[in-house]
Amino acid sequence: MQKRAPRVYRWVERMNRADQDVPEFFTPGTDFLDSDEIPETLMAVLRAVAEDFVPETRAAAERINDWLGRQQPEAGAAAVGRLGNLVGSAEFSVRGQTITALASPYRFYLLQRVQAIYAGLPLDEQALVEQMLQACGMRDMLAIKLDRSIGRSGNLEVWV
C-alpha cells in the first residue's frame, strides 16, 4: 500500500496513531469536553443539518414503507445496491422548496442501529438524548422507522 497508494497509506497511519496528528495546533488535547458537553457551535451545525435531514428521512420512510407494502420483498432479498430493487424517489420540502431525492433503505439500516442503542439506554439517559435531539430539531429521528428491518447477509444489506 505504501508504494501503490501512499496517500491512503498515510491516512490509515494517521487514523491509527495514538496521538492526534495535528502539528498545526499547539498543545492539542485528546480529552473530551467535560461531562460530554456538546458545544453550542456543534448544536448550531446539528440544527442546520436537521432542517434537511429530518424531512428527507421522513419522506424516504413513507416512500419505502409504501414500496414495501406493494412489493413485499422476501426475507433475505437485497435491500440496497445494484442487486436491490430501486424503491423510487421521495418528495419533501425544505425552506419552502420542494426537493425530490432517491429514497435509500441504507439510511434506515444505519438509523435502526442508532434507535436500538437509544432503546437500550436507561430511562434517565434516554431523557438526556431526547433533550439534546429536541434542542437541535432531530427528536423525530427516534420515531421514524420502516415497516421492515434491514439486516446484513453476505456483506449486503437485506430485508429481514
Our measurement of the distance from residue 155's CA atom to the centroid of its chain's CA atoms, rounded to an integer in Å, reads 19
Rounded to whole angstroms, the Cα distance separating 67 from 90 reads 11
Delimit the domains of the chain by residue range: 34-159
Question: For residue 21, what pLDDT is reported?
Answer: 66
Q: Structure pTM?
A: 0.77
Mean pLDDT of 44-68: 96
**Do residues 51 and 94 lie in contact, with contact meaning Cβ atoms separated by under 8 Å?**
yes
- How far is the CA of 59 from the CAs of 8, 26, 146, in angstroms? 37, 45, 11
pLDDT band at residue 40 using 50, 70 and 90 as cut-offs? very high
Burial class (CB within 10 angstroms; exposed 0-12, middle 13-18, buried 19+) of 139:
middle
Per-residue pLDDT tens digits for 94-108:
999 999 999 999 999
Question: For residue 14, what pLDDT is reported?
Answer: 81
Q: What is the mean pLDDT of the chain?
A: 89
